[in-house]
Amino acid sequence: MQIQVVKSKIHRVTVTGADLNYIGSITIDEALMEAANMIEGEKVSIVNINNGERLETYIIKGNRNSGDITLNGPAARKVQRGDIIIIISYGILDFEEAKTFKPAIVFPNEADNSLT
């Protein structure tokens, strides 16, 4: 049997932009992506702490150490600049493997989205 488990999480990061006219996705600072073991094009769930909105989209790589967290396209209607969000990705593992798997969880500085 296989189950879906949390693979990676960027916990409580600040939205820096919302671009309604972009085709879609979330732009994430490359350093945050690497720290959380996420890749460009990966499907992610977004949970907005400020308003309770939840959505799914995919990652676009942002500039390294920019602190960029921008929701693009229709997702831009579900956030505002300054909102705090959680970004979660999932993986599918065999049941026994899932029992010992440890996800990559990142807790960035909410003030500037840095890793320090």
Q: What is the CATH number of the domain that holds 35?
A: 2.40.40.20
76 falls within a domain: yes
Average pLDDT, the chain: 96
pLDDT above 80 for 24:
no
pLDDT confidence band for 116 (50 / 70 / 90) = confident
Mean pLDDT, residues 41-45: 98
Query: Distances in Å between the alpha carbon of 69 and those of 10, 95, 97?
Result: 11, 33, 32
pTM value is 0.96
pLDDT above 90 for 23:
no
Catalytic annotation present for 58? yes
57 among annotated binding-site residues: yes
82 among annotated binding-site residues: no
With a CB cutoff of 8 Å and minimum separation 6, the contacts of 71 are 15, 17, 18, 19, 26, 46, 57, 78, 79
Mean pLDDT, residues 6-23: 96
Count of domains forming the chain: 1
24 falls within a domain: yes
15 falls within a domain: yes
* Rounded Cα gap, residues 35 and 2, in angstroms: 26
For β-strands 25-29 and 69-72, DSSP reports them as antiparallel
With a CB cutoff of 8 Å and minimum separation 6, the contacts of 34 are none
pLDDT confidence band for 42 (50 / 70 / 90) = very high
Mean pLDDT, residues 29-58: 98
Catalytic annotation present for 90? no
44 falls within a domain: yes
74 among annotated binding-site residues: yes
Quick one: what percent of the chain has pLDDT higher than 90? 97
Q: Is the Cβ–Cβ distance between 74 and 18 less than 8 Å?
A: no
85 falls within a domain: yes
Q: How many CB atoms lie within 10 A of CB 91?
A: 17
Tokens 């390294």 belong to which residue? Answer: 64
Domain that holds residue 25: 2-106
Of the candidates 8, 25, 66, 89, the residue annotated as catalytic is 25
59 falls within a domain: yes
58-81 pLDDT tens trace:
999 999 999 999 999 999 999 999
75 among annotated binding-site residues: yes
* Rounded Cα gap, residues 38 and 43, in angstroms: 9
95 falls within a domain: yes
